[in-house]
Amino acid sequence: MAKGKKTLIKEIKKLNDEEILINGKEYIIIDDTKDIETATTMKISSNGNRILRFEDANKKARIDVKRNINIMKYTFGNKEAASNFKKSYDKNFLTKDDSSEVIGNTTCHKKAMEMIYRFTDKKSDEYDKKSGHTNFYLFEEIKD
């Protein structure tokens, strides 16, 4: 669906507090609103989120496509390889001395970024001092 395109909602069902089914496709609720199932149209915003519109023009909700996203931690033993990886995130710079591990899994882009910020934001309790130097935190969407 192209940015700015409006889609008429034919079928909508709230599956739980975090998920909603619209026209047969599952989405993650980012910003909920009362009676979200009364939405009439869906529009894609500039950042790729979907905005639900209602009869009341002031009422809005934001959703995102449900995805399968792994949060990865890459650890380099060689600072030169880490520096090259930092420029392009090319996995060809990984050697047998380096490691990669899945440190989490989530269903939407916003939650993936929140998980990464836990390790890369200096204000976070879980801040990794090696982040951006020899440790890198990235997300990878898993295609089915």
What tens digit of pLDDT does each residue of 95-123 get? 888 999 999 999 988 899 999 999 999 99
Sign of CA dihedral 107, 43, 61, 15: negative
Cβ within 8 Å of residue 12, ≥6 positions away = 20, 21, 22, 23, 36, 37, 39
Q: Are residues 126 and 104 in the same domain?
A: yes
The reply to whether 10 falls in a domain is yes
pLDDT of residue 1: 53
Instruction: State percent of the chain over pLDDT 90.
Output: 72
Q: Cα(86)–Cα(43) distance, rounded to whole angstroms?
A: 35
Sign of CA dihedral 54, 47, 29, 20: positive
User: Count of domains in the chain?
Assistant: 2
Q: Band of the pLDDT at 30, cuts 50, 70, 90?
A: very high
8-17, 31-40, 42-51, 81-90: least confident range: 42-51
Is the pLDDT at 47 greater than 80? The verdict is no
The reply to whether 94 falls in a domain is yes
Please give the residue range of the domain that contains residue 102.
69-141
Q: Are residues 36 and 83 in the same domain?
A: no
The reply to whether 1 falls in a domain is no
Q: Cα(9)–Cα(6) distance, rounded to whole angstroms?
A: 9
Q: Are residues 22 and 58 in the same domain?
A: yes
Bridge partner residues of 60 (DSSP)? 53
